Amino acid sequence: MTAMREAATRVSVGHRFAAHPSPPSPDSGERPAAGTKIHDRKETSMATMVDRIRTFLHNPQGQRLTRQARDQLNKPDNQRRLRQLAQRLRRRG
């Protein structure tokens, strides 16, 4: 039985269960429940992505990579390259 069917068939016994099951994750392969709006699923997946990025940036590996990026951006040669890239992109736009 799929997770959605299980969620839909639960009976509330002293616990709060949502009247409508939450939409499945986009990669689960399941179809959303009737009445579930697509943008709700996108907002949920986007929030999850932001949370994952935030968690990564606060762990040691994320902080190390942030420090390395700052070190690279402080180099004048890299700043020059970025300015040139920005000019090229502005001309195309």
d(CA 49, CA 30): 20
Give pLDDT tens digits for 15-59: 444 444 555 555 566 665 666 565 566 667 888 999 999 999 999
Q: What is the pLDDT of residues 57-69, one digit of tens each?
A: 999 999 999 999 9
Q: Is the pTM of this model over 0.75?
A: no
35 Rama sector, left if φ>0, alpha if ψ -120 to 50, beta otherwise? left
Same domain as 35, residue 3: yes
Residues 26 and 44 in one domain: yes
Whether residue 53 sits in one domain with residue 34 = yes
Residue 5 belongs to what H/E stretch?
helix 3-9
Range of the domain at 32: 1-9+18-58
> At residue 81, what are phi and psi to the nearest 5 degrees?
-60, -40
Query: What's the domain count of the chain?
Result: 2
Whether residues 51 and 69 share a domain: the answer is no
